[in-house]
Amino acid sequence: MSTQLLGNYGEEHACRYLQDKGYKILEKNFRNRMGEIDLIAQDKHTVCFIEVKTRKSLHCGQPYESVHPHKQRKIVQVALTYLKYRYRTVEVLSRFDVISIYYPADGIPELEHIVNAFDLTYLSH
């Protein structure tokens, strides 16, 4: 399975998981000139910007470990432009989540949802 196909499969798995939890999916693969956010969803009154990381091997660590500070800054930049475009303000209750999915070769997929995985305060340092 190609990396792109694995990523797409993981994002679909994450969408189903979020919908089962009552989230409303607002956008998939939202892109602008600064980058991309895999999923944007609404959890009650909170807009959630969600990075989905999928792996079929743990040789390089857990999938969520690849959402490093540089990637986080990119997600925040894209999120801020999304809020300005969609809501005309950045003063919207929002958070940044990571969904980490591991597909073992012969087992059941393991999904971990890290709610509020990082924030703007952490990134400003």
Mean pLDDT of 95-114: 93
- pLDDT confidence of residue 86: 92
pLDDT of residue 69 exceeding 80: yes
Total-model pTM: 0.91
Q: Kindly report the length of the chain.
A: 125
In CATH, the number for domain 3-123 is 3.40.1350.10
Taking the C-alpha atoms of residue 29 and residue 62, their distance in angstroms, rounded to an integer, is 22
pLDDT score of 81:
94
Q: What is the pLDDT of residue 4?
A: 83
Strand order of the β-sheet with 24-32 is 24-32, 35-43, 46-55, 94-102, 110-118
Task: Determine the Cα–Cα distance for residues 96 and 110; give it in Å rounded to an integer.
Answer: 20
Where along the chain do its domains lie?
3-123
CA-based Rg of the chain, rounded to a whole angstrom? 14
Residue 6: what pLDDT?
Answer: 82
Confidence of residue 125 (pLDDT cuts 50, 70, 90): very low
For residues 99-118, average pLDDT? 93
When the pLDDT of each residue in the chain is averaged and rounded to a whole number, the result is 91
Which pLDDT tens digit goes with each residue over 52-62?
Answer: 999 988 888 88
